Structures are given as C-alpha cells and as structure tokens.
Amino acid sequence: MQVNWQGVYPAISTQFQADGSINYAANARMLEQLIADGIDGIIALGTVGENASLTATEKREFLQQTVKTVAGRIPVIAGCTEHSAAQAIDYIKAAEQIGVDGIMLLPAVVYRGTDREVLVHYQTAARATRLPIMLYNNPVSYGVDINLEMTAVLAEEPNIVAIKESTTDTRRITELQSRFGERFQIFCGVDDIALESVLLGATGWISGLTNVFPRESVMLFRLARAGRINEAREIYRWFMPLLRLDTIPTLVQCIKLAEQLLERGSENVRLPRLALQGTERAYVEQVVAQALRTRPDLSKYQAVPAE
C-alpha cells in the first residue's frame, strides 16, 4: 500500500468550552487557519488532542466534524489510543466509516506489554482494516520501544506504511532506513529534533508547536528538505525554546496556552490536566513573548514549493 504522507502534520488540539464540552466551531476555525497556513496534513486525537480524556462517542463526533471541515483538502490521520486490541478495532472501524485517511496506532495503553504482546496488538488491529496505519513509537512516554526486530515483523503487514519515530534518538532514523529502505514513511515525532531528523531523511514531521507557528514550521521543513541548511538553521534556532515545550509532561497545556496567546485557540483542558499556573505559566508566556519579538521575516526566504 503506497501512501504519500509527507510534510508537516500538526497534532491538533481538541478545543473545549469553559464547561468542558467540545467546541467544534473553534476547532473548525483552527483547522481553516492551519490549512491556509500551508500545513500538509493533520493528526486528530493524538496526545495533544487529549484522546484519552474523550468518551468513545465524543471521539467519533470529533472525527466526523474534522473530516467534514477538512473536506478532502489534506490527509486526516486519527490517533488511536485504546486499552485493548478489541477497543482499537472498534475505534478504527468507526474512523474508517467516518472517512479518515489513516490511523496513528499506539500500543495498548495502561498495560505495558511484552514485545510479543505489542506485536499481536498491532497485527490484530492492522488486519481488521484496510486503512493505512502509522506506528507510533514513543518509548519515553509509553514504556514500549518498537525496536528493529519488531518492526521487521510488522513490515509484513501491507497496510502498516509509516512510523512516527519518537525515541528521541535520531540514530533510529538511519537504522530504520538502513534496514528497511523506503518501506516506511518516517515522521519525526519530537519537535526539538525536527531539523536533525529531516536532514537524516525523515519525510514528515508531526508537531505540537506547529499549531501555534504553522508558517514557520512549514518553511523550516521545506528549507531543510531542499538542502538550504543555513536558512533552516536560522528558523530552527529561533524556534528551539518553543519546540522544547513539546518535550515536557505538561506539553498539552503549554501548547494550548500558546495557542490562546496567539488567538488561535483556548487553553481549556480536561482533567486530569489543569491549566498552567504560577512559574510554569509565566515561563510559557515569556517564551511566546520572546518568540513574537524576534519572529523571523519569512518573506526573505525564497519560496520552497511543497514536494
């Protein structure tokens, strides 16, 4: 199965009203802004989307509204964060009917499986759908590393087509390419190693801070892919304090506060998360303010076309 997933894919936030209900109108506005700003696709209901804080019904309604708003203009990949393969299959089948373009599949959450258990989870879910699937490898957050030997087994599943690589070890990108060639589309999943990952051959970047600064994200990615390293480094150095916000436990709150500061969304989150206070909040406000004061003038960079 060939899937042309490439480019910058923000992991979009789920916008909430003050009472905790989903604000679909705000999410639609956010999506329209992101598409206008040139992003290449989206991840809906990933970590930034607070997947685990939504009910099964809310997840389906959110995907319906997202697919309706996007209307085929960019790929919509749905995050799948479930406790068991059976629950994952129910979710994936619903997402397939709704019309998403693919699934970003996590290992079963809560229980930390053995290698064999993780493989069976992925195989069982993949074989229940015709949708293309992206493996989400994040041992830092989920305690499970889909290592090269496990990846070799999953390479036998034709609809597993991509990997969101979030080990934080950029050597893994080279190892995957050396072992599997072009079998998988490899996405960088950690914001503060984005440039390094692209230079090593990652063809996509799933990003949290792209929600806040999409034009800068797209320009950084395209400059890097075009080999214009000095220009890419200029943007990357400016961006780095912001990108670091994506690598800490409160990343969702940080990103949503930054969205609010730029009037792209609201900081409202659902329990167990709480909005930032005190020094944590002041730090995010300071980083965003500094970024706005020193924001690069993208017009000085000759346009780089999308691939």
Amino acid at 31: L
How far apart (Å, rounded) are the C-alpha atoms in residues 187 and 201? 9
Q: How confident is the model at residue 155 (pLDDT cuts 50, 70, 90)?
A: very high
pLDDT at 112: 87
What are phi and psi for residue 104, nearest 5 degrees?
A: -100, 110
The predicted model gives 101-108 an average pLDDT of 96
How far apart (Å, rounded) are the C-alpha atoms in residues 282 and 246? 16
Residue 303, pLDDT > 80, answer: no
The predicted model gives 149-173 an average pLDDT of 97
pLDDT at 306: 75
pLDDT at 111: 84
End-to-end CA distance of the chain: 20
The predicted model gives 239-248 an average pLDDT of 97
Percent of the chain with pLDDT over 90: 93
Q: Is 52 exposed, middle or buried (0-12, 13-18, 19+ CB in 10 A)?
A: middle
Chain-centre distance for alpha carbon 34 = 14
pLDDT at 32: 98
Question: Per residue in 4-24, pLDDT tens?
Answer: 899 999 999 999 999 999 999
The model's pTM is 0.96
Residue 79, pLDDT > 70, answer: yes
* Cα atoms in the 13 Å half-sphere on the side-chain side of 301: 24
Residue 2, pLDDT > 70, answer: no
The predicted model gives 225-246 an average pLDDT of 97
Q: How confident is the model at residue 237 (pLDDT cuts 50, 70, 90)?
A: very high
Residue 125, pLDDT > 90, answer: yes
The residues that are catalytic are 136, 164
Percent of the chain with pLDDT over 70: 99
Chain-centre distance for alpha carbon 155 = 22
Residue 1, pLDDT > 80, answer: no
The predicted model gives 61-90 an average pLDDT of 97
How far apart (Å, rounded) are the C-alpha atoms in residues 188 and 154? 19
pLDDT averaged over every residue in the chain: 96
Angle at 188 between CA 183 and CA 190, to 5 degrees: 150
Instruction: Give the three-class secondary structure for 56.
Output: helix
Report which of 197, 95, 177 is spatially closest to residue 105, judged by C-alpha positions: 95
pLDDT at 165: 97
How far apart (Å, rounded) are the C-alpha atoms in residues 10 and 208? 6
Q: What is the DSSP letter of 16?
A: B
How far apart (Å, rounded) are the C-alpha atoms in residues 291 and 119? 42
Q: Is the peptide bond before 272 cis (omega within 30 degrees of 0)?
A: yes
